[in-house]
């Protein structure tokens, strides 16, 4: 088992190489650079000499492969460079945003689970009845609304109409995370409720449920002990995918709630062609996904003994 | 094992499903028809900027007018077509491609699985926006390129899902039995694995319709979206974003249209899943 | 049917846990909500909070150090620094930290520095302090070095003598650029980027891209500042800015989306608006075959409905442009004549030039070539895509086929003359109040932003004369003549000038928008009586 984990973590290295090179190459393909982007934002034209000098200072005048090489060589010495835009060191700038992102991701996942599992089960046991249709309808609504819409609606309702929350809340606290987390949780719950409903329905149709009932096992016990347990695998796969994208940040929600996470940092960096920050972000995402997949695989094995046998054959 | 009551119940349920399938198929057909003949159904030219801008719904305009003085209802109808077609194409492609990769990967295991999953790691981890920028620069703007950009980065979700399903089904007793009975790998995949894993994939796919509509709109600021003056629901919503308090109909109209599309396709998807459910057919 | 009924009954009976869970959830949410507190209160005394969309690294405003990129804008806007000269409401130069100047010869300027002014560091302002500051500026700031062309600076008492390397008629204008804020170089720049200036407020803490806290400069030479504390919050999202002003968490806002204006057009708020020199204009591409036809350029110039753009699309929050500069410049506004919207006239121009719709598809052709143009623009200015769609509609009525490229990657397209025909952008035309900047950056053979490859010998000649002319009146005349050349050639179409608005709660007085866009927080700002 330990070897397996170690091997998976070692696979990170080639992935990181591929992914950082790809992002470097693609940003190059995308044209423009930090110097031009800044010029456009200020709306002022500067002479070619000033532009050239600014480029030379950032090393943007060098050939693409040299730029990547320099970046890689620095990285191996533990130096992730400084941002082209803010001049801050990349690593501290990046790390300072992580707590906000982690808290937001954790709370939204928690809220999503709290919403979607009970509602999903409720919808399943009341299949095709009023409650079911109501829950499904709500999930369609949640599914059709863009993030910004839900965010602004919550802000309007809870900050302006009711005054329970301030509009501006930069500090990373449990109170301030509630609105942005609810925004994300509403959209995710809309999906998960349906997934849970489907998974539970599938299990309920199986013979063992009828068998358990015949043996006089209370329905509640069957539901919790067997049905829920069997549909955990599906839910887990989806959840891990969401965790990955949540840890990558959610730029729209972050910028509406002034939540200083990595998502907005990354989107701003991409728009401004701030290569050092983009590279840090890309590496972070790669690490997340490799770890998340590892955890998923391990938990599949733990949850479902059949896979453990199947895995043993490899 | 089954008594008469239960059999009757099964039959009743099947009839009920068929009935629902018919209703939702009709609804979907109606939606598609409306979308196909959008231009004929439009009360006004959707691109004509000839009205007083930002009129509220009512009067001559069911859904009001937008900032450029165009009839919103006409634009919503035409926008629904752009959105529905591009989203359906996108979701179909990623669901099919992702499932194929996932099933193969989960069934074969070993080196193939390892490689496929690493490739999907790279795709999942890669920031979509960087990729979209590159696509926009290489292929130019337009909604078809937005579909390409999103397809390349979105398939792994389905691959992961299908792989998980496949791994679980592969180790089940009935697959072992089928294997003992001499079924070949393609037969097992086609007869057992695919039918049994359709449920979650289909649900994810129909649920993705709403999300993908918005994702497509999210790329429009890179020039990767419907080229003006073509209407597109997602962009209509995000363009109207700051008017939510002052001129809400500009955002709500397209929002309701997206909701209707999402609801129809989801309800249809559910019913189709119920029909495809192997347990329903096994019990006939 | 019967069994089913029984099943759901049993479910109903056994479904307590779910209800319990739902109740817990509701409680949890409520707990999170009721913990919600009041917006943080400032220190004792009066506090003014400004929400600003532009104070961030993306606009090169990292801190308040005027010698760092465009941070001078923040320095001057938020009342930290002041320049030797400033712009009047008519964008003419008037003394500020200087009391006067004398042009000794074409290269030598003698400037008298105001007495009785002290930096927030406590050091008195004298010629030596100005010399140290400007010398440091041209040493570290490339743009300033190129603008000012300073050769030597001498200081004696309150008199600074600046020699330039070549005649520099606009030296005082450039000294009034935000980078020209006079700061105490002995006090230096803190790690946060805070400097000691002479303005009504003193920066005390700063977090790049987040917030700036200032306190009153009680020694301010221009009178007692009106607030004890000023906070500037960077809020890049327009909707968040709107709601923050609605909830009263900010006292004033800069950069409010137009769509939110109706929410504040009532007694609870005061607006202060004016035209800036940021112009929305179109550049015609002389490198494209179809645009080389003067009739096509003329038809485009006549086919753009500027009034409708400003009145309907911007809801009146803009100013129709004729030339490059807005109305309050002596050489701006109606000083030039531009073509007005005349679709019938445009059609006639095209007919006469042989562009006729022969196949009846609504698009004109000539010699087998369709009258199709590619309209390039970018989305980061919210008004530009709107302008694109409006122009597309009116030009298509005239018989053009217009394809819009609205892309963030506008640079790549722009530098390729084969990739576009018409380019709409929003650029500042007179950042220093002087007309020369626009021509040298956009219209001459060697201009860095002459995207359309426009060339006019007469214009080059006038530009040479302009750079050697010191008399402001003559400079204005030249600017008018030069703009008229651009318009007569239909090389540029100026659509509108940006309206800059400051919206404040009604209990704030003295927040006034200035056409140069960089005087915001002054000693006049105070609680309304």
- pLDDT(A311) > 60: no
In b/e form, how buried is each residue of A165-189, taking b as 16+ CB within 10 angstroms? bbbbbbebeebbbbbbbbbbbbbbb
Identify all chain C residues contacting B245, using CB atoms and an 8 Å cutoff: 242, 260, 263
How far is the C-alpha of C288 from the C-alpha of A304, rounded, in Å? 66
- pLDDT(C220) > 90: yes
CB A253 within 8 A of CB A184: yes
The two three-digit tokens of residue C102, written as one number: 């004398």
Count of structural domains, chain B: 1
Average per-residue pLDDT in chain A?
Answer: 84
B230 in C contact zone (CB under 8 Å): no
Angle between helices B128-139 and A262-272 (to 10 degrees): 20
Give chain C's length.
529
> Cα distance from B123 to chain A (closest Cα, Å)?
9
Q: Considering the domain boundaries, does residue B234 fall inside one? A: yes
Question: Which run of H or E residues covers position C172?
Answer: helix C171-175
Domain CATH number, residue B255: 1.10.3720.10
User: Domain residues of chain C, as ranges?
Assistant: 18-268+506-527, 275-499
Confidence of residue C44 (pLDDT cuts 50, 70, 90): low
- CB atoms A32 and C428 under 8 Å: no
Alpha helices (runs of H) in chain B, residue ranges in sequence order:
4-36, 38-41, 72-108, 110-125, 128-139, 143-170, 173-180, 185-188, 194-218, 233-239, 249-276, 278-282
Predicted local confidence at residue A226, as pLDDT: 74
Predicted local confidence at residue C19, as pLDDT: 47
What does the pLDDT look like over A210-261, one tens digit per residue? 888 888 888 888 877 777 776 776 677 778 778 888 888 788 899 899 998 9
CB A101 within 8 A of CB A262: yes
B137 in A contact zone (CB under 8 Å): yes
According to CATH, the topology of domain C275-499 is Dipeptide-binding Protein; domain 3 (3.10.105)
- Average pLDDT for C162-167: 95
CB A254 within 8 A of CB A263: yes
C-alpha dihedral, A26 to A29 to A34 to A35, nearest 10°: 160
Average per-residue pLDDT in chain C?
Answer: 89
- Give Cβ neighbours of residue A65 (< 8 Å, ≥ 6 apart): none
pLDDT-wise least confident of A297-301, B150-154, C206-210, C297-301: A297-301
Q: Which of C33, C243, C408 sits opposite A178 (nearest CB)?
A: C33
Identify all chain C residues contacting A114, using CB atoms and an 8 Å cutoff: 21, 25, 28
Predicted local confidence at residue C159, as pLDDT: 97
Predicted local confidence at residue A306, as pLDDT: 55
CATH 1.10.3720.10 for domain A97-313 = yes
For domain C18-268+506-527, which CATH number applies: 3.40.190.10, 3.90.180.10, 1.10.287.3510, 3.10.590.10? Answer: 3.40.190.10
Confidence of residue A291 (pLDDT cuts 50, 70, 90): confident
Say how many C-beta atoms besides its own lie within 10 A of residue B160's C-beta.
Answer: 24
User: What is the pLDDT tens value at each position of chain B, 284 positions in all?
Assistant: 445 556 666 677 777 778 888 898 899 999 999 989 988 899 999 999 889 889 999 888 999 999 899 999 999 999 999 999 999 999 999 999 999 999 999 888 888 888 888 888 888 888 888 888 888 878 877 888 889 989 988 898 899 889 888 888 888 888 888 888 888 888 888 888 888 787 778 878 887 888 888 788 778 767 778 888 889 998 898 888 889 999 999 999 999 999 998 888 888 887 877 776 655 544 33
Q: Alpha carbon of A129 to those of A124, A135, A191, B47, B121: distances in Å?
A: 10, 10, 20, 43, 41
Confidence of residue C18 (pLDDT cuts 50, 70, 90): very low
Task: Report A:247-276 residues touching B (Cβ under 8 A).
Answer: 248, 266-267, 270
- Give Cβ neighbours of residue A177 (< 8 Å, ≥ 6 apart): A103, A104, A107, A259
User: Domain residues of chain A, as ranges?
Assistant: 19-76, 97-313
The two three-digit tokens of residue C13, written as one number: 């009976």
CB C56 within 8 A of CB A41: no
- pLDDT(C40) > 60: no
Chains touching chain C through at least 3 C-beta pairs below 8 angstroms are: A, B
Q: What is the ipTM of this complex?
A: 0.87
From the list C419, C481, C484, C486, the residue with the least C-alpha distance to C456 is C486
What does the pLDDT look like over C335-391, one tens digit per residue? 999 999 999 999 999 999 999 999 889 999 998 899 999 999 988 788 898 999 999
CB C374 within 8 A of CB C419: yes
DSSP per residue over C94-134, as a string? EESSEEEEEEEETTEEEEEEPSS-B-TTSPBP-HHHHHHHH
SS3 state at C213: strand
- CB atoms B69 and C379 under 8 Å: no
SS3 content of chain A, % helix, strand, coil (to 5): 80, 0, 20
- CB atoms B126 and A307 under 8 Å: no
What does the pLDDT look like over C73-120, one tens digit per residue? 999 999 999 999 999 988 889 999 999 999 999 999 999 999 999 999
How far is the C-alpha of B137 from the C-alpha of C309, rounded, in Å? 30
- pLDDT(C21) > 70: no
The overall longest dimension of chain A from CA atoms, in Å, is 86
Predicted local confidence at residue C22, as pLDDT: 47
Q: Considering the domain boundaries, does residue B53 fall inside one? A: no
Left, alpha or beta for C315 (phi > 0: left; psi -120 to 50: alpha)?
Answer: left
Q: Which of A30, A167, A182 sits opposite C244 (nearest CB)?
A: A167
In b/e form, how buried is each residue of B240-255, taking b as 16+ CB within 10 angstroms? bbbbbbbbebbbbbbb
CB A240 within 8 A of CB A295: yes
Interface test mutation site (partner C, options B139, B228, B231, B238, max chain C beta carbons within 10 A): B228
pTM: 0.88
- Average pLDDT for A80-96: 89
Interface test mutation site (partner A, options C3, C23, C239, C242, max chain A beta carbons within 10 A): C239
What does the pLDDT look like over C471-497, one tens digit per residue? 989 999 999 999 999 999 999 999 999
Signed CA dihedral, A150, B158, A9, A308: sign only = positive
CB A289 within 8 A of CB B124: yes
Closest chain A residue to B267 measured between Cα atoms? A136
Say how many CA atoms lie within 13 Å of B98 toward its Cβ: 31
Predicted local confidence at residue A159, as pLDDT: 92
CB A80 within 8 A of CB A73: no
Identify all chain A residues contacting B251, using CB atoms and an 8 Å cutoff: 149
């Amino acid at each position: 088992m330990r070897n397996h984990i170690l091997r998976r973590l070692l696979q990170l290295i080639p992935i990181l190489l591929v992914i950082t090179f790809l992002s470097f190459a693609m940003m190059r393909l995308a044209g423009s650079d930090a110097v031009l982007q800044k010029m456009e934002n200020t709306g002022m034209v500067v002479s070619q000499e000033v532009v050239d000098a600014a480029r030379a200072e950032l090393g943007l005048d060098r050939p693409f492969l040299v730029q990547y090489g320099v970046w890689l060589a620095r990285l191996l010495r533990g130096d992730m460079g400084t941002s082209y835009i803010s001049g801050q060191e990349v690593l501290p700038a990046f790390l300072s945003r992580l707590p906000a992102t982690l808290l937001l991701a954790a709370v939204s996942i928690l809220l999503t689970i709290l919403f979607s599992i009970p509602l999903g089960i409720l919808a399943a046991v009341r299949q095709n009845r009023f409650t079911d249709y109501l829950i499904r309808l709500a999930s369609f609504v949640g599914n059709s609304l863009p993030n910004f819409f839900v965010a602004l609606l919550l802000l309007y309702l809870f900050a302006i109409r009711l005054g329970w929350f301030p509009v501006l809340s930069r500090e990373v606290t449990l109170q301030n995370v509630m609105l942005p987390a609810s925004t994300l949780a509403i959209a995710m719950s809309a999906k998960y409720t349906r997934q849970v409903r489907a998974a539970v329905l599938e299990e309920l149709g199986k013979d063992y449920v009828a068998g358990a009932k015949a043996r006089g096992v209370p329905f509640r016990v069957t539901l919790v002990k067997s049905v829920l347990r069997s549909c955990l695998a599906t839910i887990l796969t989806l959840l891990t995918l969401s965790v990955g994208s949540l840890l990558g940040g959610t730029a729209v929600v972050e910028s509406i709630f002034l939540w200083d996470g990595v998502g907005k940092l990354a989107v701003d960096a991409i728009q401004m062609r701030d290569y050092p920050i983009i590279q840090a972000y890309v590496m972070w995402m790669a690490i997340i996904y490799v770890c998340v997949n590892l955890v998923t695989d391990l938990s599949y094995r733990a949850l479902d003994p059949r896979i453990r046998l199947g895995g043993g054959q490899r | 094992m089954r008594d008469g009551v239960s059999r009757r119940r099964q039959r009743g349920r099947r009839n009920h499903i068929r009935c629902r399938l018919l209703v939702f198929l009709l609804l979907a057909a109606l939606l598609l028809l409306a979308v196909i003949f959008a231009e004929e159904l439009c009360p006004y030219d959707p691109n004509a900027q000839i009205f007083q801008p930002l009129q509220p719904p009512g009067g001559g305009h069911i859904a009001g007018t937008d900032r450029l003085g165009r009839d919103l209802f006409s634009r919503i109808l035409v926008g629904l077509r752009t959105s529905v077609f591009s989203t359906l194409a996108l979701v179909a492609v990623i669901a099919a491609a992702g499932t194929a990769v996932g099933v193969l990967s989960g069934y074969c295991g070993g080196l193939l699985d390892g490689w496929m999953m690493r490739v999907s790691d790279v795709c999942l981890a890669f920031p979509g926006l960087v990729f979209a920028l590159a696509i926009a620069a290489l292929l130019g703007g337009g909604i078809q390129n937005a579909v390409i950009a999103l397809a390349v980065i979105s398939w792994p979700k389905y691959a992961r899902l299908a792989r998980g399903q496949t791994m679980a089904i592969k180790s089940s007793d009935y697959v072992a039995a089928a294997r003992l009975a001499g079924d070949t790998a393609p037969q097992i995949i086609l007869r057992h694995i695919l039918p049994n894993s359709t449920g979650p994939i289909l649900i994810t796919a129909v649920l993705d319709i709403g999300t993908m509509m918005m994702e497509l709109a999210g790329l429009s600021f890179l020039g990767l979206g419907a080229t003006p003056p073509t209407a597109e629901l997602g962009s209509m919503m995000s363009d109207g974003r700051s008017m939510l308090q002052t001129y809400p109909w500009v955002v709500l109209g397209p929002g309701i249209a997206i909701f209707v599309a999402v609801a129809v396709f989801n309800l249809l998807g559910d019913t189709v899943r119920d029909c495809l459910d192997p347990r329903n057919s096994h019990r006939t | 049917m019967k069994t089913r009924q029984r099943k759901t009954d049993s479910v109903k009976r056994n479904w307590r846990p779910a209800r319990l869970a739902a109740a817990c959830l509701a409680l949890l949410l409520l707990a999170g909500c009721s913990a919600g507190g009041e917006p943080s209160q400032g220190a004792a005394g009066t506090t003014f909070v400004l929400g600003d969309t532009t104070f961030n690294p993306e606009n090169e405003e990292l801190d308040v150090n005027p010698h760092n990129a465009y941070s001078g804008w923040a320095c001057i806007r938020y009342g930290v620094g002041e320049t030797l000269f400033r712009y009047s409401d008519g964008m003419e130069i008037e003394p500020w930290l200087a009391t006067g100047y004398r042009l000794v010869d074409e290269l030598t300027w003698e400037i008298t520095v105001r007495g009785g002014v002290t930096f927030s560091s406590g050091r008195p302002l004298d010629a030596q302090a100005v010399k140290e500051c400007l010398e440091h500026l041209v040493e570290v700031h490339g743009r300033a070095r190129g603008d000012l062309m300073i050769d030597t600076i001498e200081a004696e008492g309150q008199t600074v003598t600046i020699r330039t390397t070549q005649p520099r008629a606009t030296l005082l204008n450039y000294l009034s650029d935000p980078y020209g804020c006079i700061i105490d170089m002995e006090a230096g720049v803190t790690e946060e980027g805070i400097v000691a200036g002479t303005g009504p407020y003193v920066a005390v803490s700063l977090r790049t891209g987040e917030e700036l806290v200032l306190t009153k400069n009680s020694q301010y030479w221009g009178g007692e500042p009106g607030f004890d504390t000023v906070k500037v919050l960077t809020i890049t999202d327009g909707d968040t800015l709107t709601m923050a002003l609605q909830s009263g968490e900010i006292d004033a806002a800069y950069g409010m989306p137009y769509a939110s204006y109706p929410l504040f057009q009532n007694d609870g708020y005061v607006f202060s608006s004016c035209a800036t020199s940021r112009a929305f204009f179109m550049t015609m591409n002389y490198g494209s075959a179809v645009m080389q036809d003067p009739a096509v350029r003329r038809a485009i110039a006549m086919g753009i409905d500027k009034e409708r753009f400003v009145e309907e699309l911007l809801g009146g929050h803009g100013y129709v442009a004729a030339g490059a500069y807005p109305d309050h410049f002596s050489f701006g506004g109606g000083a030039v004549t531009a073509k007005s919207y005349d679709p019938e006239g445009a059609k006639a121009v095209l007919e006469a030039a042989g562009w006729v719709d022969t196949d009846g598809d609504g698009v004109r052709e000539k010699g087998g070539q369709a009258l199709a143009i590619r309209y390039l623009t970018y989305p980061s200015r919210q008004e530009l895509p709107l302008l694109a769609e409006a122009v597309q509609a009116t030009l298509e009525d005239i018989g053009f086929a217009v394809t819009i490229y609205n892309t963030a990657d506008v640079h790549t397209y722009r530098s390729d003359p084969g990739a576009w025909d018409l380019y709409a952008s929003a650029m500042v035309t007179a950042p220093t109040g002087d007309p020369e900047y626009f021509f040298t950056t956009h219209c001459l053979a060697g201009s860095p932003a002459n995207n359309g490859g426009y060339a006019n010998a007469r214009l080059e000649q006038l530009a040479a004369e302009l750079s050697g002319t010191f008399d402001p009146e003559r400079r204005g005349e030249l600017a008018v003549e030069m703009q008229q050349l651009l318009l007569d050639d239909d090389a540029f179409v100026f659509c509108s000038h940006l309206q800059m608005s400051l919206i404040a709660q009604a209990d704030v007085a003295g927040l006034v928008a200035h056409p140069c866009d960089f005087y915001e927080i002054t000693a006049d700002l105070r609680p309304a009586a």
